[in-house]
Amino acid sequence: MKKLAFLLLILSTMMVSCTKNPEKEAVAKLDQLCSSLFPADEPGAAVLVLKGDDIIFDKGYGIADIETRKPIDGNTFFNIASVSKQFTAVAILQLAEQGKLSLEDPVSKYFPEYKAPFWKDIQIKHLLSHSSGVPDARGGIPREMKIKGDEALAMSYLPTLDYLHFEPGTAYEYINPTFVLCGAIVEKVTKMPFTQYVTENIFRPAGMLQTLYFDPQHQELIPNMAHGYEYADVEDMPEERTADSQPSDEPKKWYEYDYGEETFFATRPDGGIYCSTHEFALWERALRENKVLEEANRVDAQSPHIYASDSPWSDYQNRPNTWYGYGWFIEPKTDTTKEVIYHTGDNGGFKILAARYPEDKALVLVFANRADWDRYAVMQQIESIFGF
């Protein structure tokens, strides 16, 4: 009897071990990680993991608005900053599908007033891949103007620009004005406002019924709006705040850091979308199902077009094995890593990650309204947790 009882105990232990749920364990690990990063009484983040057709993780941490203390959840709307660039790229690619433009069109075709000869060599595809050679030369604009700067101000230096950093198509330099330029091309081709075109032809067909572009005159239209924040010691608050808040042993004082505090917050084609994690998951499904773009063009946009690693011109996402497509970063598959197609966003106090893992049919979203966390380290930790 003792031997039988012992065998039954062993069998029972084996059955318990076999019924462990790796996905459930991964979810618990991610929850623990996010809880440590984003305390409940501070600005935080909405985190979502989509695998296959199922959302396997969906949770909010911290607060969206310090004044109202409203908690963050999957329906909180964040400024997704440069993650917006992929929508601009899709708008251009839609028009290419319709034969209304070509990615090989020179910028001079749409802006004949740009007199420098190099505009004839810069093609739309160079704008989309951050390989135009155009520098970001907006430094001479006073900060007071840039605080409320719009698309016209962001592009104001381009007509008189008389130099490039490199020959178009030969190197990577991440800059925002060239995506603003793409938005202007959409307007010239469609004869309608850029935001209207994207809303009618991308957001709504994707089922993103509440996603919208920032409008400083109508901020009340943003549903469940999160504000971006940074913190500093009250007495040591710098005149020009940066989103790189440093850890301190002193008590934190949080400051709103979005429109009115950060420059060029109101430009749209390069980074003006407000979206929730729930609605962005709809975007992922729309891309997979070819609802907004033909598959061949989606694959092309999410394929390597210019090598970003080791660029002497730009350090944004300048990591090993990193390329840029059209509106997406790509880290191709290696012997030890899976392919990841992603984009990051930084604007004011917002810090955003949206990463796709094609091999696992997975999407990882971390939309945060605070910037004091190491996004790449968190991305790698999440990849390790779920095996992406």
Domain residues of the chain, as ranges?
Answer: 22-386
Q: List, for residues 253-281, the tens digit of each pLDDT value.
A: 899 999 999 999 999 999 999 999 999 99
Q: pLDDT: is 319 or 365 the higher one?
A: 365
DSSP 288: H
Give the CA dihedral 170, 172, 178, 180, nearest 10 degrees.
150
Q: Sorting pLDDT into bands at 50, 70 and 90, what band is 285?
A: very high
The residues, ordered by sequence, that sit 6+ positions from 86 with a Cβ below 8 Å of its Cβ are 301, 327, 328, 343
Place of tokens 């007495």: 235
Q: Residue 55 in 3-state DSSP?
A: strand
User: What is the structure's pLDDT at 8?
Assistant: 45
Residue 106 φ then ψ, to 5°: -80, 150
Average pLDDT, the chain: 92
**What percent of the chain shows pLDDT beyond 70?**
90
Question: Which stretch of DSSP H or E encloses residue 376?
Answer: helix 375-386
Q: Residue 126 in 3-state DSSP?
A: helix
Q: pLDDT: is 21 or 358 the higher one?
A: 358
**90: its two tokens:** 């899709």
Q: Is the pLDDT of residue 19 over 90?
A: no
Question: Which stretch of DSSP H or E encloses residue 350?
Answer: strand 350-357
Q: List, for residues 217-250, the tens digit of each pLDDT value.
A: 999 999 999 999 998 755 555 555 554 555 556 6
User: What is the structure's pLDDT at 253?
Assistant: 85
The residues, ordered by sequence, that sit 6+ positions from 30 with a Cβ below 8 Å of its Cβ are 47, 49, 57, 382, 385, 386
**89: its two tokens:** 């790229």
Q: Is the pLDDT of residue 354 over 80?
A: yes
- Mean per-residue pLDDT, 351-373: 97
User: What is the structure's pLDDT at 324?
Assistant: 98
Among 12-26, 70-84, 142-156, the range scoring the smallest mean pLDDT is: 12-26
User: What is the structure's pLDDT at 249?
Assistant: 66
User: What is the structure's pLDDT at 220?
Assistant: 95
- Mean per-residue pLDDT, 198-223: 97
Separation of alpha carbons 1 and 386, rounded Å? 43
User: What is the structure's pLDDT at 79?
Assistant: 98
Q: List, for residues 55-101, the tens digit of each pLDDT value.
A: 999 999 999 999 999 999 999 999 999 999 999 999 999 999 999 99
**CATH code given to domain 22-386:** 3.40.710.10
**What's the residue count for the chain?**
388
User: What is the structure's pLDDT at 233?
Assistant: 59
- Mean per-residue pLDDT, 12-36: 78
User: What is the structure's pLDDT at 16?
Assistant: 43
Q: Sorting pLDDT into bands at 50, 70 and 90, what band is 11?
A: very low
Q: List, for residues 150-182, the tens digit of each pLDDT value.
A: 999 999 999 999 999 999 999 999 999 999 999
**51: its two tokens:** 């695998």
Among 71-75, 187-191, 237-241, 337-341, the range scoring the smallest mean pLDDT is: 237-241
The residues, ordered by sequence, that sit 6+ positions from 109 with a Cβ below 8 Å of its Cβ are none
Separation of alpha carbons 303 and 367, rounded Å? 24
Q: Is the pLDDT of residue 189 over 50?
A: yes
